[in-house]
Amino acid sequence: MTGISIAIDGPAGTGKSTVAREVARRLRLAYFDTGATYRVGTLWCMREGVDLSNESDVAAMVETMNVALVLDPRNPRVILEGEDVSSLIRADSIALTVSKVATNLEARAALGQWQRDVIASELEGGYSEGRGVVTEGRDITTVIAPDADVRILMTADEEVRVARRAGEGADVATVREAVLGRDRKDATVVEFHTAADGVVTLDTTDLTIEEAVDAVLTLVAAAREDESE
């Protein structure tokens, strides 16, 4: 019997990363932030001087980059060419540029296959020893893991999302562009504002992190109960 697959989508600032990590920690599952694959691809292309407007060159670079992912929810890490770049890929320069890779359909296809492989590996073994994985991103519930046991679209009001990110200590104007600007760009290649059939919408506008975590855990418990019947 393979492990459980939990898929969480949504725009930036909904709390999906924090919630997904905490759910994974409590259930002793792997935590997979697919956004990190686009970010590390962006960093790698920038370091190598690749023209991000050249779709084929970007796709070729992300297909051949040497990246290892540590899916421990207590300390998730991204290792590029042996270097821990977990903090570097969160820089404003990456946040404001990553959509050039995320909206590149060739690169997206390559990274999407990598993401599927990571999920499949965790369901059979990997960090979680087969217990399963919580995967979060933009198109996990619809494209990457449409057969996940639990599929959730997290939403929240725009101003709440911006305020949450700005509250992390960043410049408000930069945050607004990074959050809403990226949403607009990414929405040209993937739908992550409206839940697909079978996907549960979880509005976190008025929820604390603990309340959002509890809501996800309730859905997971229900899915496991259905499976056992």
Work out the burial of residue 55: count CB atoms within 10 Å of its CB; fewer than 13 is exposed, 13-18 middle, 19 or more buried.
middle
Residue 100 · residue 52 · CB < 8 Å: yes
DSSP calls for 166-202: HTTT--HHHHHIIIIIHHHHHTTT---SSPPTTPEEE
DSSP calls for 119-143: HHHHHHSTTTTTSEEEEEESSIIII
DSSP state of 98: T
Contacting residues for 95 by C-beta, under 8 A, at least 6 apart: 39, 178, 182
In whole angstroms, give the CA distance from residue 52 to residue 34.
20
- Bridge-partner residues for 69, per DSSP? 78
Output the known binding site for ATP.
10-18
Tokens matching residue 54: 């050249």
Contacting residues for 45 by C-beta, under 8 A, at least 6 apart: 52, 58, 61, 62, 101
For 197, other C-beta atoms within 10 Å of its C-beta total: 6
Tokens matching residue 138: 């933009």
